[in-house]
Structure 1
Amino acid sequence: MRGEDHGHNELSGTVHGSAVQAGTVYGGIHMRIGTEAAGQIQQTPWQLPPLVRITDRTEELFALEQHRARTAREGYPALAAVSGLGGVGKTAVALTWLHALRPQFPGGQLYADLGAQSPNGPADPDEVVAGFLRTLGVAAKQMPSALADRAAMYRSLVADRQLVVLLDDAATAAQVRPLLPGGQNVTAVTSRRRMPGLIVDGCYALHLEPLATEAAVELLEITLADGRVAAQPDEARALVKLCAGLPLAVRVAGARLAARPRREITTMVRALTEERGRLEALAIEGDHNVRATLDLSYRGLTPEAARLYRLMGLHPGSEFGTPVARAALASDAAELLDMLHDANLLVDAGEERYRFHDLVRLHAASKAEEEESSQERVAALRRMFDHYLATATRAEEIVDPQHRTMPRSYGAGSVITADLGDDAEGALDWLELELPNLMTVIQRARPAGFPAVAWQLADALWPLFLRRKFYDQWRAAHSEGLAAAEQLGDTAAQCRMLTSGGVGELGLGSHERALEMFESAARMFRMCGNTLGYARALNYQGLAHQRLGRLDKASELFARAAVELPACGDRRAGGLARLNLAEVALARGLPEKATADADAAYVTLREVGDMYNAARAATLLGRVYLARDLLDPVEDLLFTALSTLRGVAADYETARTLESLAQLAERRGQQDVARDYYREALDLYSSVGGSESAGAQTVRTQLAQLESRSGD
């Protein structure tokens, strides 16, 4: 069935002489033909298909009408192109707009199905124009033979007529141009492809997206019309979400339910929940069929674009960038992505990113299963996984060059890495943007046969988790990473997942769980004779005891680590242990010891080039001086730390430094300065941990107290 969302009417009236209409003729043509000379307009065609009820297209219809009104004021014909995914309701929207114009355009309505998806190929513009001329009363013997002459005659006949034209299912702008009537007439073009070429003709381009949930529920209720939607509102919402807002899918699901009035909506929800069978479930006896609709768009692709479409159906997430498409194809993909976008099989998500409509993704995946060998599917998936692992590892190197990156393993062939530049904030932004995809890769890697990818990618996410506090994802990534490392029997990987994952548990407040993980890692290090790893585990255990309020035990463990780590050759980790000792000493009310430990940590971390943790030590040293009421050295320390922390996009630590600067300003009686620092710290704490995080709540209290004192 060509076009979409409409039915057929029989042709009524009388036609004298030969009459041929390209595509399917819809509606009535009321004719008053005598022996008048050819070329005189003697009939009023009303060819538009009947209206179909639509929902939630008010803004689109308003935009179309605004375009028409503007062109009318300026003396130009109105031309609009409505594009979108097959089944999204393009024809229904165009019909709703054009039918409403009938009182203002008494000259009639012309319709042609341009057959972009026809098995026989698109309709020839020559034949379509000829059909229009016959409809308008031109006899065969007066019909020009050349397309240019036919188009000129067509424009002459309708120049003063005031009619509307619907060119449905267009293939290209070149097919459409000879069919534009000119004058003060209105033309709507529908196409599954975007038609930027028509913009030069003054076209208004309208792209239709799937329906919002509530509008899709309304469409389902209209389709059923038996009260089941009102009786089962939650089930109805679940159903239209599985249809992903595609009007054709909603109508098909509704029609299947309407044919079984005793069936609950839940039954259809269950039928659509299983992804593998969803497209098959959205069909009615081979007539209205979501899969068939998508097949039509798929058949119009070049072989190269079709292959990219299939392979991206294997992508683990719903949105992706150009580099991962290049990895999937193992060659350049930019132009092919443009082709898929122009065919409305991909949605432009901005900044060279794309996403699939849910049902299109299922269709692409099914095509990959049908047309790609299992070996090529596995290879393409591995190339995409490798892209994410390699780029995340590069981001890790940029953000935290001091982090001990463990070896990475990749599949065969070259690995495509996204260009992240050298900016830490940009690298963190990439990790955060891709986090949904990265988490899906971690979850899918082990079942796909790539367990090493799971723990290595979890490891590469350490800087993001540490700086931006995605604690739930932190836990999930390291839980799966640990399972993968255990499957491989990789002791080093298991220990990394236990220690890094334990730090995430501390952030979640699961201090006992964190301690168990650190102790497990310590036992494994000891069993395999890894003295350095064991010393590092002492430091981690100290962190857990510190959070549990066992400051004496924490101090003991940190002191041991501070001695053993440098002895094992890791001065940096020894400096971190001294930093932790200083934190505990400050909490225990030992400011002189805290000063000595913080200063020693600051010196060591600067010497080994760990400027991020050196800045943390400087902030702590500033806090210690504040506690001792020694204000003179505080400002330089804190500003030094602030400059470094801003440069590496460490928002949480930046907030801690700003909080200390606010306290310093308060001590000096600079209330306005303190207020500004507190507000900036509050914004950063809220952006990292949420407005109800401990840091945000503390600063909010301090800010309120400051305001109260200022009021006094």
Structure 2
Amino acid sequence: MEPFMGVVLSAVGTVASGALSGAGGEMGRRTSETLFGLLNRARDEQGTAAVAPGRAGGTRADGATGGGRAPTLPVTESEQRAAALWLTEVARRSPDFADEVARWLDEAASLAPGAANGGAHGTVRPRMLPPATGVFTDREDLTAAVTALLEETGRTRGAPAVAVLSGPGGIGKTAAAVNCAHVLADRFPDGALYVDLAGASAETALAPSDVLVRFLERLGTPPAAVPGDEARQRDLYRDRTAGRRLVIVLDNAHSDAQVLPLLPASPDCLVLVTSRRRLDRLVAGTGARHLTVPPLTPEDSVRLLTRIVGDERAAGAEAGVRAVAEGTGGIPLALCTTGARLAVREHLAWERVARQLSERRTGSGGGDGQEEGAAMPEGTPGDPVRLAHDGAYRELAPECAALYRAVAVWPWPTVTVRCAALAAGVEEGEARLLLEQLADVHLLEEVAPERYRFHDVSRAFAHDLAVTEDGHGRMAAAVRRVAVGQLRFAAGADLRVIPSRWRLGPAYAALGRPENRDPEDGGRALRELREERENLAAVVRAAAHHGFDDLVWQLCEAMWGLHLRLGFHEQWVDTHLLGVEAARRSAAEFGDRRAVGRVLVQLAFAYMGLGRAADAERALAQAVAADADCGHHRGQASAVEALGLLHLKQWRWAEAEESFIEAGRVLSRIGQNDEGREDLPRARALLEHHTGRAQAKQGRFDEAVDRFNTALVQFRDLPGGADRYNEGRVYMSLGETHLAAGAVEHALVCLDRAVDIMSAEGAEPQLAYALELRADCHRRSGRVEDERADLRATVPLHERGGDQPALARVRARLAEPEE
């Protein structure tokens, strides 16, 4: 493939995938539509018999028929290759066309994953390592082995150094890896990445996509620039880590497949993986060094115990300390749990604890009857970790023991005070104190202020206790209380993120739209949802597991603002597939039949974010049918409207227009007392705007302008006051349309209004785009100083938003010589 063709093909792929996912915002959309115009022109250059690349027909951009079918968004690899070949061939024959393609390539380059964050990403140094434990003991051999790996000659070129630390639960793999990373930190000046992969089981294990999103953002990539699909996330991650010296700790891995996408591209990186499994495929495929983490020696076990309880507590009790250390089998988690228990209970005798451990291990005290000194499989009653936890649990107050069991009914990623209070059915103040007590005796670990987590061995122990002492009925009730509480939280936060959207579900019934709210409140609510994102996904799975269908689909509805604004598309699809099935089961059992279409529409947007246009279209068709079947006109109109928005992304302008007009017809069926009546004025205004956009892309500028003007009036006349934000969006569309029609002065008038409105609304991404559009108008009119002033005004906006591609684009324009 010739170099120019390769560049064009890469740009086509970037722009096409971004068009569906919404990556790049307004500039991404504009670059996609520029590609449509180029392909449309290329078709005309090739002759009237040509058929443009794409999968479906359509009308010409100027509204005429004939001349072959208009192009549609090239989604598949073959379609993208055909589009790139088309552009290359026409550019080779036409210098003017080649110049336009070159300008488009410059725009597309700023949207490419590798361009995001420009040169600034090298200055971002993540510091994600947890603090090393103050009582860490031994493991010098492991650190020495990792150091030798780093200094080994003959490692595969281009491969990072990878070490896999394996061993049973509680053996200290995490502490060893974190300590090693801290010891070697000076060798990795570009920072440290850390993640707990939650690999105790396939059900709890984090998806690679979730981890890649987290890492990319910590490496300086703006959230809006993170691709939706895992393959492009992986490519961007490799770009971000190339040439950098990072230490990366992938803790508690479940499988090789979970780890492989997270390996960086730089040979100067160190990756430390911990797992209960050997991960032989990773070792064989990457040259990773396998290191087994053994129990501590008796001497180191005594040293660790002494550090935990303090020299004074251990003084004069050498025999007892040795006996306790021996009873824990050299397992650090057992040592820490037992030591914390002794440290908290100053009058608890060493000999008593040693006797309890021995009796339970040998069976003489009612244990499992294993011979003394026999190896104890992980998780069995004679396992040292289980024995240590059992000793600590037996000394808990009843209310503390009950909370310990209650928070273990499901593997929550983290346990918050709210989660614990809901699970145990107590007030948050009491839950806060009980969590602190559990952390004091090492049954829970505090990982952030008022946010705790189990070691997975500890949770398994607590879960077994819950089954035995509480039974499945009480456990299910605890899950339902958590799900109800999380739904109440998510619905309230979602209402603050997007107050004006229509909603379904009893969770919203008692919530009123916030009045006179702080402009920053929506951002705060979104941050709150983001902090609970993984717990919200977990509660959807927990509710689905227990058959709480009414809560499952409502939780999905309440996560709309979170996913619409922040993405996390893989999680979005996973939870909403459960939501669709729950809504269908609920509808079959006299539940809300409207919920099926609602969750399907949200699922379709998740598919769009992943570039899965066919799946999105299928989900929307099912939503339209489901809403039509139950007579839910508002939901049906929303589904048809979403189908039109998908068609817009795919350049299927005529089909998009038909969808928007059909959505309007469905809205007209809503009666005076029907659900959705309140939302009608705003819904109609949005449809007028969408329809105008579809008409403008077909070259029907006069019709589009009429639609936009109607939308402006409708937004201004909304009950309760104008929708200023959407009024500004319409002015932006008017500016774009007048500019495309060559009416520069009309465009300037509209963009002046857009700039004023977006400034007042604090909508900085849209304000920046309006300023860039206005700068284009000034350029066409020869107003060089005005152009440069608008471009300079976008710089702080892009800086605050972390949009490095946009900054690079603007600075390149500002660096152009004045003519």
Could you say which TM-score interval applies, normalised by the shorter chain? 0.5 to 0.7
C-alpha displacement at 1:709, in angstroms?
1.8
Match of 1:585 in 2: 695
Contact 1:661 1:674 in 2 (8 A): yes
Cα pair distance change 1:487/1:605, threshold 3 Å: same
Instruction: Pick closer, same or farther for the CA change 1:546–1:116 going to 2, 3 Å.
Output: farther
Task: Give the deviation of 1:386 after TM superposition.
Answer: 0.6
Deviation at 1:467, TM superposition (A): 1.5
Using the TM superposition, name which of 515-524 and 330-339 deviates more.
Answer: 515-524
**Structure 1 residues 620-668: Cα deviation after superposition (integer angstroms, max 9, x where no partner):** 344445544232442342242244354xxxxxxx424312213324635
Matches within 5 A, 1:127-166: none
Amino acid across the alignment from 1:282: E
Measure, in 2, the Cα distance between the counterparts of 1:656 and 1:92: 61
Distance 1:90 1:456 in 2: 54
Mapped contact 1:579–1:598 kept (Cα < 8 A): yes
The answer as to 2:405 corresponding to 1:310 is: yes
Tell me the distance in 1 between the aligned counterparts of 2:305 and 2:394: 30
Give the direction of change, closer, same or farther, for the CA distance of 1:316–1:619 in structure 2 (3 Å limit).
farther
Structure 2: tracts of 5 or more residues without a match: 1-134, 139-171, 185-294, 308-313, 325-337, 354-373, 512-516, 671-676
Equivalence for 1:429: 527
CA apart distance, 1:365: 1.3
Q: Give the aligned partner of residue 252 of structure 2.
A: none
Alignment partner of 1:395 out of 458, 483, 493: 493
* Counterpart Cα distance in 1 of 2:299 and 2:395: 19
Gaps of 5+ in 1: 7-51, 63-86, 100-107, 119-166, 180-188, 193-258, 261-279, 416-420, 647-653
- Name 1:289's counterpart in structure 2: 384
CA distance, structure 2, for counterparts of residue 582 and residue 513 of structure 1:
27
> In structure 2, how many angstroms separate the alpha carbons of the residues matched to 1:90 and 1:431?
47
1:672-687 counterparts in 2 under 5 A?
674-675=791-792, 677=794, 680-681=797-798, 684=801
Q: What is aligned with 1:45?
A: none
CA distance in 1, matches of 2:298, 2:800: 44
Tell me which amino acid in the other structure corresponds to 2:419. V
Contact 1:117–1:300, Cα closer than 8 Å, also in 2: no
- Give 1:455's aligned amino acid: W
Seen in structure 2, the aligned counterparts of structure 1 residues 376 and 554 have a Cα distance that, compared at 3 Å, is: same
Mapped to 2, the partners of 1:337 and 1:370 lie a distance apart of 22
Q: CA deviation at 1:380?
A: 0.9
Residue 629 (structure 1) aligns with: 744
Report what 1:638 is aligned to: 755
State the SS of the aligned residue for 2:744. Answer: coil
Conservation of the 8 A alpha-carbon contact between 1:348 and 1:354: yes
| Equivalences for residues 19-30 of structure 1 within 5 A | none
**Corresponding residue number in structure 1 for 2:771:** 661
1:185-224 aligned within 5 A: none
- Give the alignment partner of residue 408 of structure 1, picking from 506, 526, 538: 506
Q: Alpha carbons of 1:665 and 1:171: their partners in 2 closer, same or farther (altered >3 Å)?
A: same
1:171 counterpart residue number = 342
Matched, 1:545 2:647: yes
Q: How far 1:708 moved relative to its partner?
A: 5.2
Q: In structure 1, what is the equivalent of residue 242 of structure 2?
A: none
Match of 1:343 in 2: 441
Q: Could you tell which deviates more after superposition, 356-365 or 637-646? A: 637-646
Matching residue within 469, 472, 484 for 2:582: 484
Q: Give the Cα separation in 2 of the matches to 1:525 and 1:369.
A: 42
Q: What SS does the corresponding residue of 1:318 show, helix, strand or coil?
A: coil
Q: Shift in Å at residue 548 of structure 1?
A: 2.5
- Measured against aligned partners, the alpha-carbon deviations of 1:427-453 in whole angstroms (never above 9, x if no partner) come to 111111111111122223222120121
- Equivalent in the alignment of 2:421: 326
Is the CA contact (8 Å cut-off) linking 1:454 and 1:481 kept in structure 2?
Answer: yes
Among 708, 721, 724, the residue aligned to 1:598: 708
Say whether 1:443 aligns with 2:651.
Answer: no
CA distance in 2, matches of 1:117, 1:329: 36
One-letter amino acid matched to 2:621: E
* Counterpart contact for 2:490–2:559, Cα < 8 Å: yes
Q: Distance in 2 between matches of 1:591 and 1:478?
A: 39
Note closer, same or farther for the CA distance 1:623–1:373 as it changes in structure 2 (3 Å cut).
same
- Note if contact 2:487-2:507 (Cα within 8 Å) is conserved in structure 1: no
Give the equivalent residue in structure 2 for 1:463: 561
Partner of 1:616: 729
Do the aligned partners of 2:406 and 2:424 also contact (CA within 8 Å) in 1? yes
Distance 1:551 1:328, change over 3 A: same
Q: Distance in 1 between matches of 2:714 and 2:607?
A: 28
For 1:68, the equivalent position in structure 2 comes to none
Number of residue pairs the alignment of both structures matches:
464
* 3-state SS, counterpart of residue 349 of structure 1: strand
Which one of 538, 550, 553 corresponds to residue 452 of structure 1?
Answer: 550
Instruction: State the AA in 2 paired with 1:343.
Output: V
Contact 1:619 1:657 in 2 (8 A): no
Q: Letter of the aligned partner of 2:300 in structure 1? A: A
In the alignment, is the contact (CA less than 8 A) between 2:636 and 2:666 conserved in 1?
no
- Classify 1:169/1:392 alpha carbon distance in 2 versus 1 (closer, same or farther; 3 Å): closer
Deviation, 1:613, is 3.8
- Preserved contact between residue 298 and residue 306 of structure 1 (Cα < 8 Å): yes
Higher RCO, Cα 8 Å, sep 6+? 2
Query: Shift of residue 398 of structure 1?
Result: 1.3
CA distance in 2, matches of 1:284, 1:311: 22
Deviation at 1:313, TM superposition (A): 0.6
Structure-1 separation of matches of 2:640 and 2:183:
67
Determine the structure 1 residue equivalent to 2:300.
92
Percentage identity across paired residues of the two chains: 25
How many Å apart are 1:502 and its aligned residue? Answer: 1.8
Alpha-carbon contact 1:114-1:170 (below 8 Å) kept: no
Contact 2:414/2:451, CA 8 A, preserved across alignment? yes
2:710 & 2:738 partners in 1: Cα distance? 15
Distance of aligned partners of 1:644 and 1:5 in 2 relative to their CA distance in 1, 3 Å threshold:
closer
How far apart are residue 394 of structure 1 and its match? 0.8
Q: Distance in 2 between matches of 1:597 and 1:175?
A: 78
Give the Cα–Cα distance (whole angstroms) in 2 for the partners of residues 645 and 577 of structure 1: 24
Please report how far the alpha carbon of residue 311 of structure 1 lies from its aligned counterpart in structure 2 after TM superposition.
Answer: 0.5
Question: What TM-score, normalized to structure 2?
Answer: 0.50
Q: Check whether the contact 1:474–1:504 (CA below 8 A) recurs between aligned residues.
A: yes
SS in 2 for 1:589: coil
Contact 1:605 1:611 in 2 (8 A): yes
- What is the aligned counterpart of 1:517 among 602, 619, 622? 619
For residues 507 and 454 of structure 1, do their structure 2 counterparts lie closer, same or farther at Cα, with a shift above 3 Å needed? same
Alignment partner of 1:348: what SS?
Answer: strand
Q: Which amino acid aligns with 1:640?
A: I
Instruction: Write the mapping of 1:483-502 to structure 2, written as runs, cut at 5 A.
Output: 483-488=581-586, 489=588, 490-502=592-604
Q: Is the 8 A contact 1:659 1:681 kept in 2?
A: no
- The 3-state SS of whatever aligns with 1:402 is coil
Normalising by structure 1, what TM-score?
0.56
1:469 is displaced (CA, Å) by: 2.3
Deviation at 1:392, TM superposition (A): 0.7
Separation in 1 of the partners of 2:808 and 2:182? 48
User: Cα 1:484–1:567, aligned 2, differ >3 Å: closer, same or farther?
Assistant: closer
Matched letter for residue 295 of structure 1: D
**CA RMSD, aligned part only?**
4.5
Are 1:703 and 2:810 counterparts? yes
Distance of 2:664 and 2:470 partners within structure 1 = 56
Any conservation in 2 of the 1:495–1:524 contact (CA below 8 Å)? yes
Q: Is the 8 A contact 2:340 2:441 kept in 1?
A: no
Rate the CA distance shift 1:481–1:375 in 2: closer, same or farther, 3 A.
Answer: same
Q: Report the CA distance between 1:385 and its aligned residue.
A: 0.7
What secondary structure does 1:446 align onto?
helix
Q: CA deviation at 1:395?
A: 1.1
Kept in 1: contact 2:774–2:790 (CA 8 A): no
Mapped contact 2:413–2:538 kept (Cα < 8 A): no
Give the counterpart of 1:382 among 480, 484, 495: 480
Report the secondary structure of 1:171's partner residue: helix
Deviation larger for 700-709 or 445-454: 700-709
Matched-pair contact (CA < 8 Å) for 1:316–1:441: no
Q: Does 1:526 align with 2:590?
A: no
Q: 1:563 to 1:433 in 2, by over 3 A?
A: same
Name the CA distance, whole Å, in 1 between partners of 2:438 and 2:409: 16
1:298 aligns to 2:393 (yes or no): yes
Cα offsets for 1:244-285 (capped at 9, x unmatched):
xxxxxxxxxxxxxxx99xxxxxxxxxxxxxxxxxxx831699
Q: Distance in 2 between matches of 1:474 and 1:173?
A: 44
